[in-house]
Amino acid sequence: MRFTKGALLAVSIRLNMATVAELVTMVGHGEARSNDSPQCMFSTPLKMTMANATVRLLEALRSPEEAQVLAPSIVREICYRVLVDEQGGAVRTALAQQGQFGRIAKALNRIHADFAEPLEVGRLANEVGMSTSVFHVHFKAVTQTSPLQYIKSTRLHHARMMMIRDGLPAAATAMRVGYESPSQFSREFKRFFGRPPGEEVREMKALLTLLPPERIEALAVPH
Question: If the chain, 223 residues long, is cut into consecutive pieces of 10 residues, what is the mean pLDDT of each piece?
Answer: 58 78 70 47 77 90 85 89 80 67 86 93 94 93 90 94 89 94 96 93 77 54 55
Look at residue 214 in the predicted model and tell me its pLDDT: 55
Q: What size, in residues, is the chain?
A: 223
Cα 73 to Cα 30: distance, rounded to the nearest angstrom = 24
At residue 112, φ and ψ (nearest 5 deg) are -70, -30
Output the pLDDT for position 30.
Answer: 47
pLDDT of residue 217: 52
Hey, is 63 helix, strand or coil? coil
Q: How far is CA 20 from CA 116, 171, 206, in A?
A: 22, 32, 31
